[in-house]
Amino acid sequence: MGMTIAEKIIARAAGVPQVKAGDIHTVNLDRMMTNDGTTHLTVDMYHNKLKNPRIADPKKMVFIVDHNVPSDSAKTAASQKKMRDFAREHGIDFWEGKGVCHQIMMEHYVCPGELIFGADSHTCTYGALGAFGTGVGCTDLLYGMVTGTSWVLVPETVRFYLTGELKEGVYPRDLMLSVIGEIGASGVSYQVMEFCGPGARTLSVNDRMVLCNLAVEAGAKTALFEADQIALDWLEARGRKPKAVFRSDEDAVYVREYTFDLGEIRPVAAKPDFVDDVVPVEEVCGVRIDEAFLGSCNNGRIDDLRVGAAIVKGRKIADHVRFLVVPASQEVYLQALEEGLIDTFMRSGAIVMNPNCSVCWGSCQGVIGENEVLISTGTRNFKGRAGHPSSRVYLGSAATVAASAVKGEICTAGML
């Protein structure tokens, strides 16, 4: 029986010739990533709960401070110090303030064919390079760090066949929000989203990251693209080589298949408080906003900053709006500086900030107050996600966010 990309990665990591959905296997993990959202708890458990504390292979571990950086309080500083000290003591790669964890992982570590656990739900981003990344909690992360292994239930795979090409002014984020709106917040629960078809080949690695990153918002265990020439060229340019290049067999088993014509996708927004409450942007036009956010592991890359900068160039941000621009990494930030994008943003009145998770996770910078409204390129719009429980978050593309920041209310770029 044929296997999907996900099944082939798990089979390789389990050291067996064949796996099928529903099997439970012990796997060797290729990499583990953990950030300041939970690592202080992992370190405490390492010291206080383990009978035989050890690290199977420090070279497989990556610690990244990105959620509350620079720290906002003495308690945060203490939690981050615990993480920093542990990484240094054990020879673990440690990053701080250099970017959002998934962006750092993509820029410096992820290789096609790898099985990666990350103590962050958006670890599914790595499927853009044909790697199986999945989010876990800090106990799973600790077990993996100690033993180098874990257990996985082999998930079913759902095929997303993409045709056509996105039209001018429509972005991968509009596509993925549309997909989630269609299948729902638990539409692919416990399953893998495999993106394929001629439409997939029109998407760059950065575009693919946007799609894979949000897969968890539909309940997926991960999302995957085949590591095709586009992915391999991207990898080679960064001096890395694939672990293994897999493609799904002709007779691989898919539990369901969806087809999306990229040419049919239109600019959309997700309304508060659910990522799957997706409507055409026109339906929410006119909603007055207090803050706009361009950034995050989903949409803070150079492509997104270019889109936003082109819209605000020569214009001013509305007086009553705080417009936060947060490049996803220092690499992105430096590129944006070189291209003059940062200059454009600052002249428009935007607040350009250091790479971090920012208001996307509601506990760093730009937290919003009672009844305030945010339009965001972040990952989630749950109740209170960006601050006060009564505040509201709309999700949209970089173009929609930048245009709304100028107008002071939700609008499309075409309406400026």
Taking CB under 8 A as the binding criterion, the range among 41-49, 101-109, 229-237, 315-323 that sits at the site for other proteins is 41-49
Subset of 70-99 contacting other proteins (CB under 8 A)? 75-76, 78-80
Decide: 67 and 158 in contact? Cβ < 8 Å.
no
Closest CA to 80 of 102, 64, 101: 64
Task: Give, in order, the Cα–Cα distances in Å from 350 to each of 204, 223, 308, 335.
Answer: 28, 33, 11, 18
**Single residue of 146, 253, 287, 415 touching other proteins by CB under 8 A:** 146
Write the binding mask 203 to 242 for other proteins: x where contact by CB under 8 A, - elsewhere. -------------xx-x-x---------------------
Binding of other proteins at residue 38 (CB under 8 A)? yes
Residue 190 within binding range of other proteins, rule CB under 8 A: yes
Q: Does residue 153 touch other proteins according to CB under 8 A?
A: yes
**Helix or strand (DSSP H, E) at 215:** none
The answer to whether residue 135 forms part of the interface with other proteins (CB under 8 A) is yes
Told to check if 139 binds other proteins by CB under 8 A, we report yes
Buried b (16+ CB within 10 A) or exposed e, 186-208: ebbeebbbbbbbebbeebebbbb
Compute the least distance from the CB of residue 394 to other proteins, in Å: 16
Between 142 and 158, name the residue whose CB sits nearer to other proteins: 142
Residue 199 has phi, psi (to 5 degrees) of -65, -35
Residue 291 to residues 61, 375, 377, 412: CA-CA distances in angstroms? 36, 7, 12, 16
For residue 194, the minimal CB distance to other proteins (Å) is: 17
d(CA 364, CA 118) in angstroms, rounded, equals: 21
Site for other proteins contains 147 (CB under 8 A): yes
Among 9, 27, 62, 136, binds other proteins (CB under 8 A): 136
- For other proteins, which residue of 5, 9, 29, 68 counts as binding (CB under 8 A)? 68
Q: For residue 176, which of 88, 276, 36, 66 has the smallest C-alpha distance?
A: 276
Structure tokens at 393: 């978050």
User: String of b and e for 9-27 (b: at least 16 CB within 10 Å)?
Assistant: bbbbbbeeeebebeeebeb
21 lies in the binding site for other proteins (CB under 8 A): no
What is the rounded distance in angstroms from the CA atom of residue 297 to the CA atom of residue 67?
A: 11
- Report if residue 24 touches other proteins, rule: CB under 8 A: yes
Q: What's the min distance (Å) between Cβ of 192 and other proteins?
A: 11
Q: Does the footprint of other proteins cover residue 371 (CB under 8 A)?
A: no
Residue 37 CB, shortest distance to other proteins, in Å, is 6
- Size, binding site for other proteins by CB under 8 A: 53
| Rounded CA separation 211/155 (Å) | 19
Contact string (CB under 8 A) for other proteins, positions 373-412, x = contact: -------x-xxxx---x-----------------------
Phi, psi of 280 (to 5 degrees): -60, 140
Radius of gyration of the chain (CA): 21
Listed ranges 32-40, 259-267, 298-306, 317-325: which one lies at the site for other proteins (CB under 8 A) = 32-40
Other Cβ atoms less than 10 A from the Cβ of 338: the count is: 10
Q: What angle do CA 294, 176, 329 make, to 5 degrees?
A: 35
Interface residue list for other proteins (CB under 8 A): 24, 36-38, 40-41, 44-45, 49-52, 67-68, 75-76, 78-80, 119-121, 135-140, 142-143, 146-147, 151, 153, 185-186, 189-190, 216-217, 219, 221, 274, 361-363, 367, 380, 382-385, 389
